[in-house]
Amino acid sequence: MFEALKVWLVRHLQVLFETLGRLWQTPVASLMTTLVIAIAIALPLVLYQIVLSVDRLSAGWQGAPQISVFLKIETSEGAVDPLEAGQTLLQNPKVEDVQYISPEEGLSTFSEMSGFQSAIEALPENPLPPLLVVFPATGNDNTASSELADQLSELPFVDTAVYDQQWLHRLTAMVNVVKRAVIVLALLMGAGILLVISNTVRLGITNRAGEIEIIDQVGGTKSFIRRPFLYIGAIQCLFGALLAWLITSLTLFLLVKPVAKLAELYQSSFVIGYVGFAVAGAVALSVTVLGILAARVTVDRYLVRLRPS
């Protein structure tokens, strides 16, 4: 029993090294195949990583939805007292909290952030209206928050009420579209990998038709004949996945700096992460399994011909 296991293991190692040797004998063809597979993996992987980063960022924002309520300076009933207006808003059960930002505060924050200090100082008067920041009690429910904003803008002392997260809404919808695109792309690339492996294996079979015939004649089993081709599929896909990981890391590395710069301009903490070992490992494993399956189907279609008729 132990002896049989040893023979089996030695045989597998033999085939592994034979296959590596064979791939090494045609370096250009092997490298091309591996590169094609690598690119097919890297493309969806890079996109996936970007989408993942955007997703993580917008999830972070969604924690604090707020409505900006801009007040009128005065109504037909006289001047508006912002603090009194805040108290009125707090009586609405849908309002969790209200924060007052005076025109002066608003202007100083704005001039700090925008870098237009001198221009702002040159203004004859403060153009900003008083602002009440409303935190809705409805939490992350976007529809409810939008409705609340509409409701608040109907109040007599309110100029406009803007639900700040409308754009986040759009971003999320867009991210969902891209997510779907990543899945479709991954499927297409998977099909591409299947075809590439199938083609490589078919070429290998053609080159070794004589050998296959002799092995069949001297009593080699189907799995014996199949084995080297399965190794071709497995090895090329595994190397392709490793190379894809390199390509992905390099691409993301090239993106990290410009994206950080862009994010800085928008006061955002957006950063692109690298592909983790777990994801890379899972991708490598599934692509390798895919390669083995593709090779197997291809060889089996050929082996039917060896059956006596």
**Where on the chain is the footprint of other proteins (CB under 8 A)?**
3-4, 6-8, 10-11, 210-211, 213-222, 224, 308-309
CB of 177 to other proteins, least distance (A): 50
Q: Identify which of residues 143 and 217 has a Cβ nearer to other proteins in the complex.
A: 217
Residues ≥6 apart with Cβ < 8 Å to 292: 230, 233, 234, 237
Distance CA(35)–CA(68), nearest Å, equals 52
Measured from the CB atom, is 110 or 224 closer to other proteins? Answer: 224
DSSP string, 132-196: EEEEETTTT-HHHHHHHHHHHHTSTTEEEEEETTHHHHHHHHHHHHHHHHHHHHHHHHHHHHHHH
Q: What letter represents residue 111's amino acid?
A: S
Nearest approach, Cβ of residue 172 and other proteins (Å): 55
**What is the number of other CB atoms lying within 10 angstroms of the CB of residue 276?**
10
Shortest separation between residue 296's beta carbon and other proteins, angstroms: 16
Q: Based on CB atoms, which residue is closest to other proteins, 105 or 213? A: 213
Q: Cβ contacts of residue 279 below 8 Å, gap of 6+?
A: none
In the bound state with other proteins, the residue whose beta carbon lies nearer, of 2 and 167, is 2
The amino acid sitting at 63 is G
CA distance 253 to 247: 10
Minimum distance between the CB of residue 254 and other proteins, rounded to whole angstroms?
45
Tell me whether residue 7 or residue 29 sits nearer to other proteins (CB atom).
Answer: 7
Query: How near is the Cβ of 28 to other proteins at its closest, in Å?
Result: 20
Q: How far is the CB of 292 from other proteins (least distance, A)?
A: 20
- Tell me which residue of 36, 39, 44 sits closest to 186, measured CA to CA: 44
Q: Which two tokens stand for residue 105?
A: 């505060």
Q: For the chain, how many residues are written?
A: 309
CB closer to other proteins, 190 vs 220: 220
